[in-house]
Structures are given as C-alpha cells and as structure tokens.
Amino acid sequence: MKKSEYNPPHDHSDYLSFVIFLKVPEEIHKEQKEFVGNSGGPGSLSFLYGDGNRQSITYQSVLPKDRDIFIFPAWIKHYVAPFYSDVTRISVSGNIANSVELNNIKRNKDEGK
C-alpha cells in the first residue's frame, strides 16, 4: 500500500483469510501515535463482526508491525484504513480453501512440453 490507498470493507468466500505484514515503515507508526479519533487510525486493519447500537462494540482494530500475521475466518468483514505518509507498506494476503474440486483445476498449457 502507498499513501492514501485503502481497502474497503469486504469478506471472502473461502475458509480462512490471512495477512502478513512484511514491512510497516516507522512513519506509519508515528501517524498512529498522533491519531486522535474513535477508529483504529491510519494504516489499521479492522474486523467488523456484527450490528449493534452505539453502545455495542462491533469491530476490532489492530495496528500491524513488521512480521505480524493475522489469520481469520474468511467470512469476517475487514478493511484497511489509509495512511498519509509518503511511504510504502508491504504485505501479503490470501485465502485458504477447505476443499478444491479437482475437475475445476486448469492445467498449464505448457505442461509436458
């Protein structure tokens, strides 16, 4: 992710999802420390897990650091808030299925040549 980029609330259809934060620049940590507000703040990863009134806590935010790994059920809505420093945060994300129909796997056209 780069300055002002974000990932809106979404979920996945697989079994599990994960995010690995490889590099979180110090500038983002500084933004988080200076943030004043009710949300997770700049660069946070947030999980939404239900509806509720104003007195209900229906989300959890985390402030990722280098080498943090988060694994969670794919059906949980989640999002990543933007940050505003002119840096790049490096992460890897993906999904894990609990089964794969072998007939739906496409073969590489170059296989066996």
Q: What is the CATH number of the domain that holds 45?
A: 2.60.120.620
Dihedral angle sign, alpha carbons of residues 96, 97, 100, 105: negative
Lowest mean pLDDT among 19-28, 64-73, 96-105: 96-105
Range of the domain at 28: 7-98
Q: Is residue 106 part of a domain?
A: no
Q: Is residue 81 part of a domain?
A: yes
- Please check the confidence at residue 113 and state whether its pLDDT lies above 60: no
Cα(93)–Cα(68) distance, rounded to whole angstroms?
A: 12
Confidence class of residue 100 from pLDDT cuts 50, 70 and 90?
confident
Give the chain's domain count.
1
Give the tokens for residue 75.
Answer: 């059906």
pLDDT tens digits, one per residue of 20-63: 999 999 999 999 999 998 888 999 999 998 776 767 678 899 99
H helices of 1-113, in order, are: 26-34
Mean per-residue pLDDT for 17-21?
97
